[in-house]
């Protein structure tokens, strides 16, 4: 290595070395490690920042971007990295045409056509959330930050700017060469069997396809070979399907085909550019146990067939020879951390068309997209998948870069499959996601059916059952009230618990703000209920319900950014008065206050409204009573426990109150309410005291105080 202060007219502290060669040719690679820490391929944005595209022209296959830094020059090999919904794309730039403060990019084939013709996932343009985020990389003119590097193939040089504290003279700098380090490959008639890998370290694999043909994935890192939009939506298998796609599978450091009874135990899969371990085709009764998967560019583990290259991706897989199936695999007690750091649309564990597979007691952290996914095909049609199990896994700190995401995600029919006793928590804040609200803990996507999903500890009931098809699933007890024993038992077991010392959590990266309870009231006469529901769709309100009394409609649920929700409603219904009830003056929660009670799995809400006196002094007294009630009137909360109230919340806006009483589903408030005062005279005293603070809202009868709103039932 040689230190240079000025290089090609550019000032800085650069270190230069001859690029590694083999047989007289430069060794190509897209990743570089310095002392085991991945360096950053030179890019145009600082740190974790990204820019936003201006537009995308699918007809001309070009993209307009802001281009204010005139020191950036087009160089052969330059690429665009772009975020598009639940995936990313690596696009080789063919030309940059600069016009004032913007530039038009064109791209190399085959990715240029595929990128502009495929309908999903595509670049997005959004006034509300910002356009697709991107950065440019792999050019000398972009080399400007410590930790960045650039391979100059033309001059056979490699350039690097050291990080603080790095001594490049003593550093170990590693460039990967092989894409596939180990291949276990039998045949359908003569499979490899009974082979064990224990304590082996698999490190430093390469990933070259994006440099050769670009990389435009459909989902889970499976790259598109061809894709287009149907002129008339619908196929014999899926009546509403609008796109067709054919995909390829990324290379892996370790690949297994036609093998059984293979064991990977206590191995290290580390510093890998694409997939770590791939149990691809014709594999069964294999065990992956107690391994470390860390610093991996793609998925840690791929398992099972997804789609063969000649097989359209939305078709159910029907196998004539069962020996080609991936079945009866066990993936357990592995630590999967800091993976998906090159292709952000990959996963901790990604399973395709699999059968009788068990994924249990793994820990997954620091991933860009979902923790794990099970299934492929987006279809209800019966196929080879069945009897799959996802049990007692610990998944946290996911969704770092992309949304439309979950801790556990499923696709397609999988009869007699189970997702149970998993612990899912801590979702990263993704600053460039297409939909800031579309992060979930559990997500049964298109065609998912045949699952029992129960006793999963999740921080909030933020789940999604895709309207395109989940049915025939059993959902029970998936919430933060699940036994702490389940939470504590999830994740890695002995004798592999020492792996927990390797867990990566990016402490500098923010977490998603948890949704909070709010009520939004609409007052007027223009109550197009279906239009209101449609307007609310994108906000992913947890537990969203609507309640109505005369010209008052109340939306209740847990929300992020209620002001933004209000603005959207105001735009759709300009004639309505809209109020946010964001002052939660009282919040009784059964799981906090009732020691001997087990919270119900499903609740029903009763919503009421009343007014406080116009006298502000009396309003303050009312609020103060409720703030100190748990301390000074503990018998009231005891009465709520006795009545099995799940929660009781009082919201205030100006002088109007909204009261939400939640009771176990199937119970009746008239039956439960008397239990609040049973052998508890202090509750009678409290109720009598509160009467002087409460009166009916405008439109109530003279003898009415608390008005019951009627729930608007779903059609």
Helix (H, G, I), strand (E, B) or coil at 470: coil
Question: What is the pLDDT at residue 469?
Answer: 63
Q: How many CA atoms lie within 13 A of 584 on its CB side?
A: 14
C-alpha 344/C-alpha 299 separation (Å) is 9
The verdict on 162 and 278 lying in the same domain is no
When the pLDDT of each residue in the chain is averaged and rounded to a whole number, the result is: 96
DSSP category for residue 511: B
Q: How far apart are the first and last CA of the chain?
A: 70
pLDDT in tens, 538-550: 899 999 999 999 9
pLDDT in tens, 384-432: 999 999 999 999 999 999 999 999 999 999 999 999 999 999 999 999 9
| Higher local confidence (pLDDT), 472 or 305 | 305
φ/ψ region of 47 (left if φ > 0, alpha if ψ in -120 to 50, else beta) reads: left
Residue at token pair 């610093």: 295
Q: How would residue 325 be classed by pLDDT, with cut points 50, 70 and 90?
A: very high
Contact between 356 and 388 under an 8 Å Cβ cutoff? The reply is yes
The verdict on 631 and 490 lying in the same domain is no
Q: Cα torsion for 358, 483, 449, 665, to the nearest 10°?
A: 170
Q: How would residue 4 be classed by pLDDT, with cut points 50, 70 and 90?
A: confident
Q: How many CA atoms lie within 13 A of 517 on its CB side?
A: 20
pLDDT in tens, 637-665: 999 999 999 999 999 999 999 999 999 99
Question: What is the pLDDT at residue 467?
Answer: 66
Closest CA to 334 of 292, 371, 372: 292
Residue at 340 is within a domain: yes
C-alpha 658/C-alpha 675 separation (Å) is 22
pLDDT in tens, 215-245: 999 999 999 999 999 999 988 888 888 999 9
Closest CA to 140 of 78, 185, 91, 230: 78
Q: How would residue 318 be classed by pLDDT, with cut points 50, 70 and 90?
A: confident
pLDDT of 142 above 80: yes
Question: What is the pLDDT at residue 488?
Answer: 97
The verdict on 43 and 112 lying in the same domain is yes
Contact between 293 and 266 under an 8 Å Cβ cutoff? The reply is no
**Domain limits at 480?**
193-207+250-502
Residue at 232 is within a domain: no
Q: How would residue 10 be classed by pLDDT, with cut points 50, 70 and 90?
A: confident
Pairing of strands 2-7, 55-57: unpaired
How far CA 51 is from CA of 98, 203, 419, in Å, comes to 16, 33, 38
Question: What is the pLDDT at residue 70?
Answer: 87
Helix (H, G, I), strand (E, B) or coil at 542: strand
Across residues 170-188, what is the average pLDDT? Answer: 98
C-alpha 26/C-alpha 19 separation (Å) is 7
The verdict on 483 and 539 lying in the same domain is no
Return the structure tokens found at 639: 């009465």
**How many helical (H) and strand (E) elements, i.e. helices and strands, does the chain have?**
11, 56
Helix (H, G, I), strand (E, B) or coil at 601: coil
CA 135-140-145 angle, to 5 degrees, is: 65
Give phi and psi for 206, each to the nearest 5. Answer: -105, 170
Question: What is the pLDDT at residue 236?
Answer: 86
Contact between 205 and 219 under an 8 Å Cβ cutoff? The reply is no
C-alpha 488/C-alpha 457 separation (Å) is 10
Residue at 415 is within a domain: yes
What is the count of structural domains for the chain?
A: 3
What Rg value do the Cα atoms of the chain yield, rounded?
29
Residue at 405 is within a domain: yes
Question: What is the pLDDT at residue 468?
Answer: 66
Burial class (CB in 10 A: 0-12, 13-18, 19+), 17: middle
CATH of the domain at 297: 2.160.20.10
Question: What is the pLDDT at residue 40?
Answer: 99
Last residue of a domain, one of 475, 502, 529: 502
Return the structure tokens found at 211: 């440099």
Residue at 219 is within a domain: no
The verdict on 498 and 605 lying in the same domain is no
C-alpha 346/C-alpha 6 separation (Å) is 39
pLDDT of 208 above 90: yes
Return the structure tokens found at 298: 């793609």
pLDDT of 581 above 80: yes
Question: What is the pLDDT at residue 708?
Answer: 98
pLDDT of 101 above 80: yes
The verdict on 428 and 526 lying in the same domain is no
Helix (H, G, I), strand (E, B) or coil at 492: coil
C-alpha 376/C-alpha 326 separation (Å) is 13
The verdict on 455 and 322 lying in the same domain is yes
Contact between 142 and 5 under an 8 Å Cβ cutoff? The reply is no
pLDDT in tens, 514-540: 999 999 999 998 789 999 999 999 899
Residue at token pair 């952290």: 365
C-alpha 81/C-alpha 63 separation (Å) is 12
The verdict on 521 and 497 lying in the same domain is no
Question: What is the pLDDT at residue 240?
Answer: 85
Contacts of 652 (CB under 8 A, 6+ apart): 581, 583, 585, 612, 623
Q: How would residue 603 be classed by pLDDT, with cut points 50, 70 and 90?
A: very high
The gap from C-alpha 320 to its chain's centroid, in whole angstroms, comes to 35
Closest CA to 220 of 385, 394, 404: 404
Residue at 440 is within a domain: yes
Contact between 669 and 661 under an 8 Å Cβ cutoff? The reply is yes
Question: What is the pLDDT at residue 228?
Answer: 94
Residue at 186 is within a domain: no
C-alpha 524/C-alpha 666 separation (Å) is 32
The verdict on 170 and 309 lying in the same domain is no
Residue at 185 is within a domain: no
Helix (H, G, I), strand (E, B) or coil at 468: coil
Return the structure tokens found at 682: 């202090």
The verdict on 532 and 480 lying in the same domain is no
Return the structure tokens found at 541: 């309100």
Contact between 481 and 343 under an 8 Å Cβ cutoff? The reply is no
C-alpha 688/C-alpha 345 separation (Å) is 59
Across residues 98-106, what is the average pLDDT? Answer: 97
Last residue of a domain, one of 441, 470, 502: 502
Q: How would residue 11 be classed by pLDDT, with cut points 50, 70 and 90?
A: confident
The gap from C-alpha 91 to its chain's centroid, in whole angstroms, comes to 24
Give phi and psi for 214, each to the nearest 5. Answer: 75, 175
Share of the chain above pLDDT 70, in %: 99
Question: What is the pLDDT at residue 239?
Answer: 86
The verdict on 116 and 148 lying in the same domain is yes
Question: What is the pLDDT at residue 458?
Answer: 98
CATH of the domain at 564: 3.30.70.100
The verdict on 461 and 396 lying in the same domain is yes
């Amino acid at each position: 290595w040689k230190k240079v202060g000025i290089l090609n007219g550019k000032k800085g502290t650069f270190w230069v070395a001859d690029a590694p060669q083999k047989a007289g040719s430069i060794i190509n690679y897209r990743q570089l490690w310095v002392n085991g820490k991945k360096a950053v391929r030179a890019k145009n944005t600082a740190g974790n920042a990204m820019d936003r595209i201006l537009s995308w022209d699918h007809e001309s296959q070009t993209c307009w971007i802001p281009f204010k830094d005139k020191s950036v020059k087009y160089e052969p090999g330059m690429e665009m990295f772009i975020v598009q919904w639940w995936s990313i794309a690596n696009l080789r730039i063919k030309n940059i045409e600069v016009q004032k403060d913007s530039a038009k990019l064109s791209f190399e084939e085959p990715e240029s056509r595929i990128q502009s013709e495929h309908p999903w996932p595509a670049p997005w343009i959004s006034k509300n959330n910002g356009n697709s985020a991107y950065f440019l990389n792999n050019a000398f003119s972009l080399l400007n930050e410590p930790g960045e590097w650039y391979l100059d193939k033309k001059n056979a040089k490699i350039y690097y700017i050291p990080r603080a504290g790095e001594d490049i003279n003593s550093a170990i700098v590693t460039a990967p060469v092989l894409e596939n380090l180990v291949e276990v490959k039998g045949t359908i008639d003569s499979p490899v069997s009974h082979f064990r890998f224990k304590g082996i370290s698999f490190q430093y694999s390469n990933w070259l396809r994006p440099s050769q043909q670009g990389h435009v994935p459909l989902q889970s890192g499976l790259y598109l070979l061809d894709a287009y939009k149907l002129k008339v939506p619908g196929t014999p298998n899926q009546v509403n399907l609008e796109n067709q796609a054919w995909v390829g599978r990324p290379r892996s450091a370790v690949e297994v085909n036609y093998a059984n009874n293979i064991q990977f135990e206590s191995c290290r899969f580390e510093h890998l550019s694409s997939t770590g371990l791939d149990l691809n085709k014709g594999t069964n009764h294999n065990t992956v146990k107690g391994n470390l998967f860390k610093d991996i560019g793609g998925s840690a583990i791929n398992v099972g067939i997804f789609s063969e290259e000649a097989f359209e991706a939305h078709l159910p897989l029907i196998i004539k020879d069962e020996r080609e199936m991936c079945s009866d695999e066990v993936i357990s007690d592995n630590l999967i951390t800091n993976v998906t750091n090159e292709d952000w649309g990959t996963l901790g564990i990604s399973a395709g068309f699999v059968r009788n597979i068990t994924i249990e007691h793994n820990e997954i952290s620091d991933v860009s997209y979902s923790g794990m996914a099970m299934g492929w095909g987006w279809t209800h049609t019966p196929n080879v998948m069945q009897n799959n199990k996802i049990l007692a896994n610990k998944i946290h700190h996911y969704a770092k870069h992309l949304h439309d995401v979950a801790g556990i995600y499923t696709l397609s029919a999988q009869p007699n499959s189970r997702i149970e006793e998993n612990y899912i928590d801590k979702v990263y804040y993704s600053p460039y996601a297409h939909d800031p609200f579309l992060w979930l803990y559990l997500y049964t996507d298109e065609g998912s059916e045949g699952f029992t999903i129960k006793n999963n500890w999740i921080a909030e009931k933020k789940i999604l059952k895709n309207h395109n098809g989940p049915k025939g699933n059993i959902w029970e007890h998936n919430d933060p009230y699940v036994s702490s024993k389940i939470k504590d038992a999830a994740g890695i077991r002995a004798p592999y618990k020492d792996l927990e010392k390797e867990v990566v959590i990016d402490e500098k990266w923010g977490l998603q703000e948890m949704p909070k309870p709010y009520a939004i009231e609409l007052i007027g006469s223009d109550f197009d209920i279906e239009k209101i529901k449609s307007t609310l769709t994108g906000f992913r309100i947890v537990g969203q319900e609507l309640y109505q009394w005369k010209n008052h409609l109340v939306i209740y649920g847990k929300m992020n950014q209620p002001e933004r929700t209000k603005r959207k409603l105001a735009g759709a219904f300009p004639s309505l008065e809209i109020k946010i009830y964001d002052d939660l003056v009282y919040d009784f929660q059964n799981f906090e206050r009732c020691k001997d009670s087990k919270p119900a799995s499903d609740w029903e809400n009763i919503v009421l409204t009343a007014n406080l006196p116009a006298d502000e002094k009396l309003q303050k007294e009312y609020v103060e009573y409720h703030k100190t009630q748990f301390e000074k009137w503990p018998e009231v909360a005891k009465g709520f426990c006795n009545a099995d109230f799940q929660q009781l919340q009082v919201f205030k806006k100006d002088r109007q109150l909204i009261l939400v009483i939640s009771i176990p589903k199937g119970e009746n408030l008239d039956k439960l309410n008397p239990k609040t005062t049973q052998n508890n005279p202090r509750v009678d005293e409290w109720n009598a005291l509160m009467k002087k603070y409460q009166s009916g809202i405008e439109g109530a009868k003279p003898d009415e105080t608390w008005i019951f709103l009627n729930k608007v039932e779903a059609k």
